Amino acid sequence: MSRARDKANSTVSNFASTGIDDNADATAITIDSSENVLVGTTTNGTTADGTVIRSSAETLMTRSNGAPLLVNRRGSDGAAIEVRNDNAVVGYINANASGMGVYLGGTAAANHLDDYEIGSFTPSFDNTVGNGPTVTYTYQIGRYTKVGNRVHWTARISWSAFSMNGSGYALLAGFPFTADSTTAFSQGSNTFGYASGIGGSDGLSGLYIDPGANKFYMTTSANPTAELLGSNIGSAGAFYCGGSVQV
């Protein structure tokens, strides 16, 4: 308890304050001899929870088991954090109803990265005519990394039994994205690193995906412009492949 004076300059007994004044019975804010402002802490650093505003124009925020900074843009979509160099805008972190994005290396639309994702998928065989082949798989492993509108992927398939159950070309299915339907660049650059169990005169050369599709045609080394026929897939085999597709 302390003694304070009211507006009439009379002494008020048994007065306690938790605010920022000479009568406070707790430390609310500390301003040290170097003119650093400490809120919720007496430590000028990041080893204790609290906020430190340093006279050197640094701001330190520390919080245990939670985000020390919350930024909320209300209303329209746009920049939630603006980054400047010599007062010139060099980047943003954007917030919108569907998520967030970041402008890297500039503030133009070409610098906007709004998606990054890594994941897995299960590659499999399909065909262009029929109900799909019957396959006993020994490996079905697919991995991808998506950066913006570009998907980099790898896959491994091996099988110990194969029945086409139809005709036409063989397809590699299971790709978890649909290729860009507006440009031929969606077909990307896709190739095989190893292949066995391909019969006839066909060997595997590369893969392509049609715009707006999510299955790959496989092309042959005998004729890189010809798709692989399902009838030329042997009863056992394996291949490793991968590439890049615009989605």
Give per-residue pLDDT as tens, 146-200.
999 899 999 999 999 999 887 789 999 999 999 998 766 556 778 888 888 886 5
Q: Does 71 reside within a domain? A: no
**Predicted local confidence at residue 151, as pLDDT:** 95
Sorted by sequence, the CB contacts under 8 Å of residue 145 that are 6+ apart come out as 117, 118, 151, 152, 153
Of all residues in the chain, the percent with pLDDT exceeding 70 is: 85
DSSP category for residue 65: T
Same-domain status, 177 and 130:
yes
Range of the domain at 26: 2-62
**Total number of domains constituting the chain:** 3
Q: Count the residues in the chain.
A: 247
Same-domain status, 140 and 238:
yes
Q: Does 107 reside within a domain? A: yes
pLDDT in tens, 50-109: 999 999 999 999 999 999 999 999 999 888 898 889 998 888 888 888 778 888 878 888
Q: Does 68 reside within a domain? A: no
Q: What does pLDDT average to over the chain?
A: 85
Same-domain status, 124 and 241:
yes
Same-domain status, 212 and 160:
yes
Same-domain status, 91 and 151:
no
As a whole number, mean pLDDT of residues 14-41 equals 75
List b or e across 75-99, with b for residues whose CB sees 16 or more CB atoms inside 10 angstroms.
eeeeeeeeeeeeeeeebbebbeeee
DSSP category for residue 208: E
Given a cut of 50, is residue 1 above it in pLDDT? no
